[in-house]
Every structure is written in structure tokens, then in C-alpha cells.
């Protein structure tokens, strides 16, 4: 289990909490096999409201599957769940990073995002193999956001 600065919710198979004391990185850690209903509960009803409460502060979400990366969810309606998740997408969530996810889930998420995402919206979903890579992506994004924008002549 990850060391979280502030845990905010836990079920028998998932937990959600702030990774950093500044509350800019919100982590969903999958502890056991999950269902699409579990995903809706943890993302739509726990994570997204926590992210919205931080607005306008940018928030980065990291989804860690670790040892369960080879398992697809054990039930539920995937398209309906993904629609609910994407429809409640907080505007101040700037990146959603999936750590150690299977290719099947990765491809499904990519397709569902293309189907349900709003036009002209910057893609914010990333996939990595390690938590360290996810944190490096967040650090690079934060650094880029702090750089002054230069105008083209």
C-alpha cells in the first residue's frame, strides 16, 4: 500500500487519498479485484467531488493497479460506467495517469475517451508502468505550467 499524506476513503478493494500535503495529487489505489461499479463509486462519488472542491487549483489523478494489472474488472457494464465517469469529469483535473494497466483496459479507455470526450478538449489521460514515472509526468506538467508563455514573432 502507498503512503498517502491524507487518506479520504477506503473500501474493501480500493482506497483514495491525497498523495501530497499540498493536495494536488489524488491517488486511487486498487487493492483487490474491482468491478465497474467500484470504479463509478470511487471516481464519480469520491474522487471527482474531492477534485472539484480544490477548484480552481489544478489536480492530478493517479490510478495505481500494481499487482492487479493483469486482471480485467470482474463485472458490470463497462460502457455505462465509463460514460458516467467521463460525464462527471472535473474541469480542474489536468491529468489522469493510469499505472500498470493492462493493454485491454488501456485500449478500452482510449476508445471510450474518444467516444465520450468533448470536442476541442486536450487529452489528459496517460499510461505508465511505474508510480515514479507517473510522478515525473506530474512534475514535468507542473513545471511547464509555471513557465512563462512566449509569444511567436
Partners of 16 in the β-ladder: 9, 28
Coil/strand/helix, residue 91:
coil
Task: Answer yes or no: is 116 within a domain.
Answer: yes
CATH of the domain at 91: 3.30.750.24
Task: Answer yes or no: is 124 within a domain.
Answer: yes
pTM beyond 0.85 = yes
Task: Answer yes or no: is 152 within a domain.
Answer: no
Task: Answer yes or no: is 151 within a domain.
Answer: no
Residue 130 has pLDDT above 70, yes or no: yes
Cα first-last separation, the chain: 50
Whole-number Å distance between alpha carbons of 33 and 68:
7
Confidence of residue 119 (pLDDT cuts 50, 70, 90): very low
Task: Answer yes or no: is 24 within a domain.
Answer: yes
Place of cell 512563462: 148
Task: Answer yes or no: is 1 within a domain.
Answer: no
Task: Name the residue range of residue 36's domain.
Answer: 6-146
Whole-number Å distance between alpha carbons of 73 and 34:
5
Number of domains the chain contains: 1
Bigger pLDDT: 95 or 127? 95
Whole-number Å distance between alpha carbons of 17 and 47:
9
Residue 29 has pLDDT above 70, yes or no: yes
Mean pLDDT of the residues in the chain: 86
Task: Answer yes or no: is 71 within a domain.
Answer: yes
Amino acid at each position: 500500500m502507498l503512503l498517502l499524506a491524507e487518506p479520504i476513503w477506503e473500501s474493501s478493494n480500493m482506497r483514495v487519498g491525497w498523495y501530497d500535503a499540498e493536495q494536488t495529487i489524488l491517488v486511487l489505489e486498487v487493492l483487490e479485484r474491482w468491478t465497474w461499479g467500484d470504479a463509478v463509486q470511487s471516481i464519480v462519488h469520491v474522487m471527482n467531488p474531492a477534485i472539484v472542491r480544490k477548484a480552481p487549483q489544478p489536480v492530478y489523478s493517479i490510478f495505481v493497479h500494481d499487482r492487479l494489472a493483469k486482471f480485467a474488472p470482474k463485472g458490470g457494464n463497462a460502457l455505462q460506467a465509463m460514460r458516467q465517469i467521463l460525464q462527471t469529469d472535473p474541469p480542474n483535473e489536468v491529468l489522469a495517469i493510469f499505472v500498470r494497466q493492462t493493454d485491454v483496459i488501456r485500449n478500452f479507455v482510449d476508445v471510450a475517451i474518444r467516444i465520450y470526450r468533448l470536442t476541442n478538449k486536450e487529452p489528459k489521460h496517460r499510461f505508465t508502468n511505474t508510480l515514479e514515472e507517473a510522478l515525473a509526468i506530474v512534475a514535468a506538467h507542473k513545471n511547464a505550467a509555471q513557465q512563462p508563455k512566449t509569444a511567436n514573432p
